[in-house]
């Protein structure tokens, strides 16, 4: 058996996403399954080293994950030639510092999104790592969610006919921390710490829309700070300076209209925390994180407006569940496996830092639209 051991510097994994999605559910899961099987005689085996500021937190997380290596010295980890990949899940504003150090050390780069706080910086990072001849990728996990995979399968089958519009609903109630335990970090609601739902979520909507429905031509976005005060991890009140909701409409080059509501100040009355409602001339589908339901033209009821009587149509009865096409793995883990195959075997990997820069650009344009209260065009980046 040939084993390709890949040393991975995991910077910032003591945070919520880094711990749960990247370390435990991706890298540890890959190790536990015996690596990434390339053939009966060849595997890729991750060898992570955890990097952060708190040795106490790192030691506890390493013990939890069964990882032997951890350090507070990023420079030392970068100097180790056995580490060939640098992964960054630190705060967005700090990301270019670590990435540039890793580029100088000759490491392949894999980043959480947003890849930078501005599109100019994000594009510069992409150009720098490309010029260094290194492989690079950005996390675009939602493309591998089972519900969206099923939606893409319907599109590839021609189920929709001509796609007309997309309505995305995302969000949930994030407790303020006054009386309850926080479920999101307080920096999310501080603009000075790169918080805000526009910066966080429009990066996601960019790659979801581009990969499923088409290129974005223009957009309009209205942000809001619905909850003006929250309480931080030390139970101290603070003023919210970042947006906690965004209402954005995207016009695509092919004429499709996409509207996405994103909110951390809404209570859920839908099938999932994220739903995509796609209308087409021949059919409609509604996808969530893991499931998808559809209604064809033949099953579409003939609706008549009459608010004076109870509806004779049971609308929910006219939908069918799109069947599973197999077993669906964790979306973050799937992309990690694809990236590591790209690093070791040079297999194609299209979700690179240039794609990540497009997401930063769209978020930037969303903030511009909100500030100027107008539609803005999406120019070609770079």
Each residue's pLDDT tens digit, 129-174: 999 999 999 999 999 999 999 999 999 999 999 999 999 999 999 9
Residue count of the chain? 382
The answer to whether residue 294 scores a pLDDT higher than 90 is yes
- Same-domain pairing of 157 and 294: yes
Percent of the chain with pLDDT over 70: 100
Predicted local distance difference test score (pLDDT) of residue 305: 93
Q: Compute the average pLDDT of residues 89-98.
A: 93
Predicted local distance difference test score (pLDDT) of residue 23: 98
CA distance 207 to 358: 8
- Worst-scoring range by mean pLDDT, 111-115, 171-175, 179-183, 295-299? 179-183
The answer to whether residue 204 scores a pLDDT higher than 90 is yes
Task: Say how far residue 119 (Cα) sits from the centre of its chain.
Answer: 17
- Write the pLDDT tens digit of every residue in 168-192: 999 999 999 999 999 999 999 999 9
Contact 76, 105 (CB under 8 A): no
Looking at the structure of the chain, the number of domains it has is 2
- Same-domain pairing of 147 and 137: no
CA distance 10 to 226: 35
The answer to whether residue 258 scores a pLDDT higher than 90 is yes
Domain of residue 250 covers 143-328+361-372
CA distance 131 to 114: 21
Predicted local distance difference test score (pLDDT) of residue 276: 98
CATH of the domain at 244: 3.30.360.10
- Same-domain pairing of 173 and 91: no
Predicted local distance difference test score (pLDDT) of residue 382: 78
CA distance 270 to 260: 15
Predicted local distance difference test score (pLDDT) of residue 277: 98
DSSP state of 235: S
CA distance 123 to 367: 18
Predicted local distance difference test score (pLDDT) of residue 233: 94
- Same-domain pairing of 12 and 103: yes
- Write the pLDDT tens digit of every residue in 307-352: 999 999 999 999 999 999 899 999 999 999 999 999 999 999 999 9
- Same-domain pairing of 160 and 273: yes
Our CA angle for 324, 293, 298, nearest 5°, is 115
- Same-domain pairing of 134 and 158: no
Q: Compute the average pLDDT of residues 267-289.
A: 97
Q: What is the DSSP string of 273-291?
A: SEEEEEEESSEEEEE-SS-
- Same-domain pairing of 130 and 248: no
Average pLDDT score, the chain: 97
**Within a domain: residue 381?**
no
pTM above 0.75, yes or no: yes
Closest to 57 (Cα-Cα) out of 116, 114, 10, 111: 10
- Same-domain pairing of 133 and 150: no
Contact 199, 221 (CB under 8 A): no
**Within a domain: residue 380?**
no
- Write the pLDDT tens digit of every residue in 37-80: 999 999 999 999 999 999 999 999 999 999 999 999 999 999 99
Tokens of 307: 């608010």
Query: At 111, is the pLDDT very low, low, confident or very high (cuts 50, 70, 90)?
Result: very high
Task: Say how far residue 203 (Cα) sits from the centre of its chain.
Answer: 7
Q: For the packed helices 353-372 and 197-212, what is the interaxial angle rounded to 10 degrees?
A: 120
- Same-domain pairing of 266 and 317: yes
Partner residues linked to 23 by β-bridges: none
CA distance 98 to 86: 9
Closest to 110 (Cα-Cα) out of 146, 149, 83, 71: 83
């Amino acid at each position: 058996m040939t084993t390709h051991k890949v040393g991975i510097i995991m910077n910032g994994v003591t945070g919520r996403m880094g711990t749960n999605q990247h370390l435990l559910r991706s890298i540890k899961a890959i190790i536990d399954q015996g690596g990434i099987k390339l053939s009966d005689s060849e595997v890729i085996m991750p060898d992570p080293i955890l990097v952060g500021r708190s040795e106490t937190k790192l030691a506890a997380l390493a013990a939890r994950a069964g990882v032997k290596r951890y350090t507070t010295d990023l420079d030392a980890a970068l100097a180790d030639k056995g580490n060939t990949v640098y992964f960054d899940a630190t705060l967005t504003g700090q990301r270019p510092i670590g990435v540039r150090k890793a580029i100088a050390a000759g490491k392949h780069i894999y980043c959480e999104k947003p890849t930078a706080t501005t599109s100019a910086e994000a594009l510069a990072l992409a150009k720098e790592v490309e010029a260094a001849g290194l492989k690079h990728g950005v996390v675009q996990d939602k493309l591998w969610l089972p519900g969206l995979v099923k939606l893409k399968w319907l599109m590839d089958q021609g189920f929709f006919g001509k796609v007309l519009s997309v309505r995305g609903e995302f969000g949930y109630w994030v407790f303020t921390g006054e009386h309850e335990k926080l479920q999101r970090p307080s920096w999310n609601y501080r603009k000075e710490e790169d918080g805000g739902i526009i910066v966080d979520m429009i990066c996601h909507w960019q790659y979801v829309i581009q990969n499923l429905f088409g290129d974005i031509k223009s957009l309009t976005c209205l942000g809001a700070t619905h909850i003006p005060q929250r309480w931080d991890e030390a139970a101290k009140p603070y003023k919210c300076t970042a947006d906690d909701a965004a209402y954005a409409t995207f016009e695509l080059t092919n004429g499709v209209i996409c509207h996405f509501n994103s909110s951390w100040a809404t209570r859920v009355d839908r099938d999932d925390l994220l739903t995509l409602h796609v209308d087409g001339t021949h059919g409609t589908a509604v996808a969530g994180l893991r499931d998808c339901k559809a209604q064809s033209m033949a099953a579409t009821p003939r609706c008549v407006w009459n608010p004076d009587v109870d509806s004779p149509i049971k609308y929910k009865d006219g939908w069918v569940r799109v069947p599973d096409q197999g077993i669906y793995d964790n979306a973050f883990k799937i992309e990690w496996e694809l990236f590591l195959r790209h690093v070791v075997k040079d297999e194609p990997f299209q979700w690179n830092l240039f794609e990540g820069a497009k997401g930063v650009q769209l978020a930037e344009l969303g903030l511009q639209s909100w500030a100027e209260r107008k539609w803005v065009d999406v120019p070609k980046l770079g």
